[in-house]
Amino acid sequence: MSESDEPNLTHDIDWPMLDKARFIPLNLLSTFIVRSFLYPITLVRTRLQVQVKSSIYRGTWHALCTTVRYEGFRSLYKGFLVYNCQLVPGLIYITTFEATRARANSLSKNEYLRAGVGGTIGSLCSQILACPIDIVSQHMQLVGLTSSEKKTRLTTNNISSESDTKFSNKSSQNSLHHRHVPRIHVPTEIRTSNYLIFKHICKVLLYEKHTDKDIKSRISFKGFYRGYLISTFLFSLTSAIWWPSYYFYQRQMFRIETIFSNQISVPLIVIQCIAGPLSSLTSTLLTNPLDVCRTRIQVEQQRRRVAKIMYELWQEERFHIFTKGLTARLSHSCIYSLLIIFGYETVKRISLKQEYQGHCFDINQAYYCSLFCLYGIFFFCYYLVFICVIYMTHR
């Protein structure tokens, strides 16, 4: 069925309309650029979700600055290469989503239902590979999180500050064992090498210790799939909320534009870039407690019952579980959606087959190719500014 047969899809580009040889590499490049740019926020979000209450960081900016101050700028990219292995399950996700949505067109004309089903199935398929990568990268992000040892060493060298003294007083009143989640211990001597950290974490997960000490540890992949069910449920639910919300917000803005069409004309790409963050805002607010539970379950050193971990988390945080790490997660998800949708929709326009270019609204491939190049240049410049700000703040 061509797009002209159904007017309400003239703004949308379906999977059969794309040149896959062009779409796949450009989509991978776009995703890699955005992930590289936002990785420090991803790391900070994980650390905020794992800490007990506010025992280490007071908030997103404090976590970012403290990490750079005590661990160096490079620490913001711990686990970065492993994290970017997510590009493969990410590609599986988006291709499955697009293909499922196109096939579902024969079953239902409701685009919200098609988008929800496509997102859910895409998440179910991609999580088979994404879950192990997520677990390893999270453990790498948490190396050096407990900063009391480093602050103690700084104190002996007369470099400590008043804030460090307050932290030390707090830690003396509360046992570190009770204030921090037990996770994989990485020896200090290998913390300077990401490869050795990766190797150590994989070895611990592969030879996961049995609760019964009399039983020898055997090779098992269970450690790589800890929290798999809750992770799959979370991402499937998030996708089932995000994609219908994305198309819903688009339609509402099209209606608003129609009402004020004489006064203002908004480009389609702008409408889509507004709809993306709004969808992320909706899905993040609704799923944040599940994300906190997932992270806590996956980073614990020993395998325990999910119900027990969730109960402990509730005892620690109570209703703060709804806002734990929320600022970092909202910042990450909304900015990520804005940038990824801009790249995704631009790549779709560049990858549109020749025979469909007359059937779609707002298509000018030369314009969008130029826009995509500016997109990459903008990220490069913004990234340099980000590095300079962090460096100048903590000279």
| Domains of the chain, first to last | 19-148+195-393 (1.50.40.10)
Q: Which residues contact 42 (CB under 8 A, 6 or more apart)?
A: 83, 141, 332
* Long-range interactions of 200-209: CB distance < 8 A, separation 24+: 201/136, 201/139, 201/140, 202/136, 204/301, 205/135, 205/136, 205/139, 208/303, 209/302
Average pLDDT, the chain: 75
pLDDT confidence bin for 151, thresholds 50/70/90: very low
Least confident of 145-159, 243-257, 276-290: 145-159
| 186 phi and psi angles, rounded to 5 deg | -105, 120
Whether 33 contacts 376, CB under 8 Å: yes
Whether 44 contacts 361, CB under 8 Å: no
* pLDDT value for 242: 92
- 116 to each of 100, 109, 110, 119, 347, how far by Cα in Å? 10, 13, 10, 5, 22
Residue 18 pairs with which residues in a beta bridge? 352
Q: If DSSP codes are grouped into helix, strand and coil, which group holds residue 10?
A: coil
Across residues 33-58, what is the average pLDDT? 81
Residue 352 pairs with which residues in a beta bridge? 18
Q: If DSSP codes are grouped into helix, strand and coil, which group holds residue 181?
A: coil
pLDDT confidence bin for 216, thresholds 50/70/90: low
pLDDT confidence bin for 238, thresholds 50/70/90: very high
Across residues 365-384, what is the average pLDDT? 59
* pLDDT value for 148: 43
* pLDDT value for 376: 61
Show the beta-strand stretches assigned E in 7-78.
none
- 82 to each of 17, 45, 79, 191, 198, how far by Cα in Å? 33, 17, 5, 16, 8
* pLDDT value for 360: 57
According to DSSP, residue 17 is labeled G
Q: If DSSP codes are grouped into helix, strand and coil, which group holds residue 190?
A: helix
Is the four-CA dihedral 168, 172, 176, 180 of positive or negative sign?
negative
Question: What number of residues does the chain have?
Answer: 395
User: Residue 154 corresponds to which tokens in the numbers above?
Assistant: 């700084």
Q: If DSSP codes are grouped into helix, strand and coil, which group holds residue 352?
A: strand
Alpha-carbon distance 114 to 104, whole Å?
Answer: 6
Rg from Cα positions in the chain: 23
318: alpha, beta or left? (left if phi > 0; alpha if psi -120 to 50): left
Least confident of 82-96, 201-215, 319-333: 201-215
CB count, 10 Å around CB of 131? 22
Across residues 193-218, what is the average pLDDT? 73
- Residue 175 pLDDT > 50: no
Alpha-carbon distance 354 to 22, whole Å?
Answer: 12
pLDDT greater at residue 141 or residue 392: 141
- Residue 381 pLDDT > 60: yes
Alpha-carbon distance 346 to 228, whole Å?
Answer: 33
Least confident of 137-146, 239-248, 289-298, 372-381: 372-381
pLDDT confidence bin for 4, thresholds 50/70/90: very low
According to DSSP, residue 319 is labeled G
End-to-end CA distance of the chain: 61
* pLDDT value for 237: 92
Across residues 237-250, what is the average pLDDT? 91
pLDDT confidence bin for 241, thresholds 50/70/90: very high
- Residue 157 pLDDT > 60: no
- Residue 167 pLDDT > 70: no
Which residue from 147, 141, 148 is spatially nearest to 76, judged by alpha carbons? 141
Which residue from 379, 347, 377, 343 is spatially nearest to 365, judged by alpha carbons? 347
Whether 122 contacts 100, CB under 8 Å: yes
- Residue 323 pLDDT > 80: no
Show the beta-strand stretches assigned E in 281-380.
none
* pLDDT value for 296: 79
